[in-house]
Structure 1
Amino acid sequence: MPKEKQFDRAAVLTQAMELFWKQGFEATSMQDLVDATGINRASMYATFGDKHAFFLAAVDHYIATVSSRRLERLQQTGSPRSALADFFDDLIAFSCGDGRRLGCLLTNAAVEMAPRNADIDERLNITFLRLEDAFYDNLLRAQQAGEVANGRDLRAAARLLTGTVQGIRVLARADSDDGTLRDIASEALKAVA
């Protein structure tokens, strides 16, 4: 009878996600993953497959945890404009806090892999569209509340904010100071008013 796996899948995915986030796909070896997660190589291969499959599982975990939590901020009750401001405040604090400056795992993957990896490209497109749609829904509520001008192209504004998020995450990884990132967010929010 095969030995039962003795590890918490979500915890292992979080550890792998953090490692891939910090080092990228190419720079992370299977031995790095074994060391970071504490599970043996045989269990890792049996559970997650090869490094590419493990990376995809870590990216999916990131989407389900980190990205989903960000989107929830845009749906909070109260002023939609305040929710937007809170979203960007949280994004900058998360991107720069605790010395992390890791950027966004998805953005990092896009730069490293998307043009030649259909699996990553598909996940990026879906996730970026979800972010754009969340911004669009928020802006529509803001327009209905009189917080965004009528006649504004809300889809284009949502795309601007989606691009702003990616720019902030890249600049955070490049070690831009918090003030610069706050200026970028502030100007983007003014542009969609």
Structure 2
Amino acid sequence: MRVFSDYCRDLVAQAREQLQGGPKAALPSPMARLEYYLVSLALAFAGESPHRGCFLTKVTVDRAGEDEEVAQTARRAFDDLAGVLAGAIRDAQDAGEVADHVDSSALGYLLLSVIRGIDSIAKADVDATTLEQAARSAVALIPRAEPPRAEV
């Protein structure tokens, strides 16, 4: 459990580091960071040989139904990951990239579901191009903010 808990904590910390902006952010646009994050995960899952997948996904599938402590740890990790993704959506809303009416929490869980799905299908040796397109398509479905109208 200690190894699983540490893994989950590190996974959330890595997501937060990659998705949060700041003066040292490699990509200044929240949407660009979000797309880069999803695509990099898709390519990492595709590039594994053998396709082991994410430890969080594997342990959740294998043990959460039988072990309450595993289920709680996984749930906390999923909530935290979805929260980090929701934070990236809120950052994009603040930057005028995503429509204000979007429910960032719901979208955070949707993107988390896409990531977990990509992880799962990568194990079946789905090609990297398909996984990358799935990640990019998920980002493309996010409702964008209306561009500001020119003053007349």
TM-score between both structures, scaled by the size of structure 1: 0.66
SS, match of residue 174 in structure 1: coil
Matched, 1:87 2:37: yes
CA drift of 1:68 comes to 2.4
The answer to whether the Cα contact below 8 Å between 2:43 and 2:132 also exists between their aligned partners in 1 is no
- Where in structure 2 are there 5+ consecutive unaligned residues? 144-152
CA drift of 1:100 comes to 4.2
Amino acid in structure 2 at the alignment position of 1:132:
A
Matched, 1:72 2:17: yes
Q: Which has the larger radius of gyration?
A: 1
CA drift of 1:80 comes to 0.4
Whole-angstrom distance in 1 between the partners of 2:2 and 2:114: 26
Runs of 4+ in 1 over 6 A off after TM superposition: none
CA drift of 1:172 comes to 1.3
Q: Following superposition of structure 1 onto structure 2, how do residues 117-132 of structure 1 map, counting pairs within 5 Å?
A: 117-132=67-82
SS, match of residue 65 in structure 2: helix
The answer to whether the Cα contact below 8 Å between 1:132 and 1:162 also exists between their aligned partners in 2 is yes
CA drift of 1:97 comes to 2.2
Q: Following superposition of structure 1 onto structure 2, how do residues 38-187 of structure 1 map, counting pairs within 5 Å?
A: 56-76=1-21, 77=25, 78-187=28-137
Amino acid in structure 2 at the alignment position of 1:85:
E
CA drift of 1:135 comes to 0.8
- Where in structure 1 are there 5+ consecutive unaligned residues? 1-55
The answer to whether the Cα contact below 8 Å between 2:8 and 2:74 also exists between their aligned partners in 1 is no
Structure 1 vs Structure 2 CA RMSD = 1.5
For 2:149, the equivalent position in structure 1 comes to none
Whole-angstrom distance in 2 between the partners of 1:150 and 1:170: 32
For 1:48, the equivalent position in structure 2 comes to none
CA drift of 1:87 comes to 0.5
SS, match of residue 115 in structure 1: coil
TM-score between both structures, scaled by the size of structure 2: 0.83
CA drift of 1:186 comes to 1.4
Amino acid in structure 1 at the alignment position of 2:75:
N
Higher helix share goes to which structure? 1
Count residues in correspondence. 138
Q: Deviations over 1:145-176 (max 9, x none)?
A: 11111211222111110101110111112211
Whole-angstrom distance in 1 between the partners of 2:58 and 2:68: 15
